[in-house]
Structure 1
């Protein structure tokens, strides 16, 4: 069933879909998302430590689903290699590399060391703004967030509304054991850094080895999210202008 923008507000549609899908298998959630939104749906992936499961599930629903990858310019080389290998192995035909705008880097981070003084500012120009610009062409998107990551994710719904768009979180209900079982069942390749003790992989300046979920991200700071999943103040629209 195609999504009819005139039939419901985004919050109303999100609430209805969440009620219908809150106990559904991730595959069913992905199929429903694709049926509703078609080419107005994208999947956002870091190609990090746990990304293979969602990417594999999505490839079985629609290998041509647009996959948005935030190439921040600060990623580990192993992540860039993993992105290429996973896309080829799973037959993902539309992986889009999103990069920070040259103007933003030139004016706000000319020496590529903003992360030393403002991790929030660094994430904003390297992740938040590029994704905002890319999502301007979509009505809904898919994330790989899970409740067992803790923090603000403990109450994560399966479907939610954010900034006028529908967000699907197909793996919200799954435990680490269920993820591991899926990886084993389908013999999915691990991110190379997992064997080196990285349970979660982001940008190299702000990621440390850790065997406890996302605790290796921004270790020693209060920060737990890069900003792309942080609710905006009412009336603040995403920045969808400029180059990616």
Structure 2
């Protein structure tokens, strides 16, 4: 793998090369390569502390619990999510949990009543999630997230490695299905988010998350009834031919 760490390279080409080389590797192996070999001290895990988040948090903590974990506290989360975050962070002894919050001036100017989610869900996500995460990721060369291909049609082709602006994004659990996830929870005796038992296989902000019926996509309860499937933090930008690892 060391040859793939050489720079400068076009970032899109680098991501494609990494993705090809990581095929067939286990999530733990992908994480070890990303955290220890390629981006030591320059990579962060972005976690919602949602329905399946404990799996990736447990894996990362087992490799290096000082890896920064970025959590978006939008101000609209379920109380259960905040309690679960604290429970998992304490159990795994996460050493660098960073709470990212929306800019108060932006909220005052655009969502003083707290109802922007109803009027313009995209704008609400941008202020409460996209912009805070972009600020939180400044200074990092790469990030990790827990998206999986089975979760929805829009995620069915996500790679193991992709370009995210000026950095790389690792999706080490991309190939996992519900059974692998359930097995990992059982083997490592990880606590489940309390809303999972109430029919929430995907958990975001309270106003925009509903239970899911049998047979629906795991994310069918997110922004139900709207032409919206993602909050915006995992929408890949168009490839650039000018970005390099030196940027």
TM-score, shorter chain, exceeding 0.5: yes
Q: In structure 2, which of residues 204, 209, 228 is the aligned counterpart of residue 223 of structure 1?
A: 228
Matched, 1:45 2:47: yes
Instruction: Work out which of the residue numbers 155, 161, 165 in structure 2 matches 1:159.
Output: 161
Matched, 1:25 2:26: yes
**Structure 2: tracts of 5 or more residues without a match:** 241-247
Q: Look up the match of 1:134.
A: 136
Asked if structure 2 preserves the Cα contact closer than 8 Å seen for 1:147 and 1:173, the reply is yes
Aligned to 2:7: 6
TM-score normalised per structure 1: 0.92
Contact residue 2 and residue 36 of structure 1 kept, 8 A: no
Structure 2 CA distance for aligned equivalents of residues 229 and 200 of structure 1: 15
Question: What is the SS of the residue equivalent to 2:162?
Answer: strand
Q: Deviations over 1:143-162 (max 9, x none)?
A: 10000012221111001112
Q: Compute the displacement of 1:135 (Å).
A: 0.9
**Cα displacement (A) at 1:189:** 0.3
CA-to-aligned-CA distance 1:160-200 (integer Å, 9 cap, x gap): 11212110000001111110011111111000111122111
Alignment partners' CA distance in 1, 2:209 and 2:27: 28
Q: Give the number of equivalent residue pairs.
A: 235
TM-score scaled by length of structure 2: 0.91
For residues 88 and 188 of structure 1, the distance between their equivalents in structure 2, rounded to whole angstroms, comes to 12
Aligned-residue Cα RMSD (Å) equals: 1.6
Partner Cα distance (1:52, 1:210) in 2: 20
C-alpha contact 2:102 2:128 (8 A) present in aligned 1: yes
Contact 1:11-1:161 at 8 Å conserved across structures: yes
Please tell me whether the aligned partners of residues 163 and 239 of structure 2 are also in contact (alpha carbons under 8 angstroms). Answer: no
| Residue 7 (structure 1) shift | 3.4
Partner of 2:57: 55
Residue by residue over 1:64-92, the C-alpha shift from the partner in whole angstroms, topping out at 9 and shown as x without a partner, is 00000000000001100111110110111
8 Å contact kept, 1:39–1:65: yes
**Any stretches of 5+ residues in structure 1 without a counterpart?**
236-244
Give distance in 1, aligned partners of 2:77 and 2:63: 28
